[in-house]
Amino acid sequence: MTPLLVALGGGVGAVLRWRLSVWTRRSGATPAGGTLVVNVLGSFLLGLIAGWGSRPDWVMPLFGVGLCGGLTTFSSHTLEVVQAWRDLERRHAVADLMSTLLLSVPALMLGWSMTL
């Protein structure tokens, strides 16, 4: 049952990632900016889920591993940063790397702290 929960959550997370990326790009964000949005949001959601003390056993596979795993994407983020660097958009590449660290870690901590 657990693999099915992970697969279901992952599918929903992947579609949600795609929709949010399209929306942020249409709003003027760079490709890396769209990925940054989903990574920060996913970090916040994972913090909420991880900090939920008495959660049912199915919550982490469905939402933590599946949804948040499908929503966030380190591999796409890395590709976009390298492409920006190779395209001589080095300020964007460095800014995105720093933004990801400076926003995603606190977002996870905020989500987690909201459950205490």
* Total number of domains constituting the chain: 1
Domain carrying residue 107: 2-113
The two structure tokens encoding residue 94: 């460095």
pLDDT tens-digit readout, 64-85: 999 999 999 876 788 788 889 9
Q: Annotated binding site for Na(+): which residue ranges?
A: 69, 72
pLDDT tens-digit readout, 8-42: 999 999 999 999 989 999 999 888 888 888 999 99
The two structure tokens encoding residue 23: 């929306």
Q: Annotated binding site: which residue ranges?
A: 69, 72
pTM score of the predicted model: 0.79
User: Comparing C-alpha atoms, which of 47, 23, 21 is closest to residue 35?
Assistant: 21
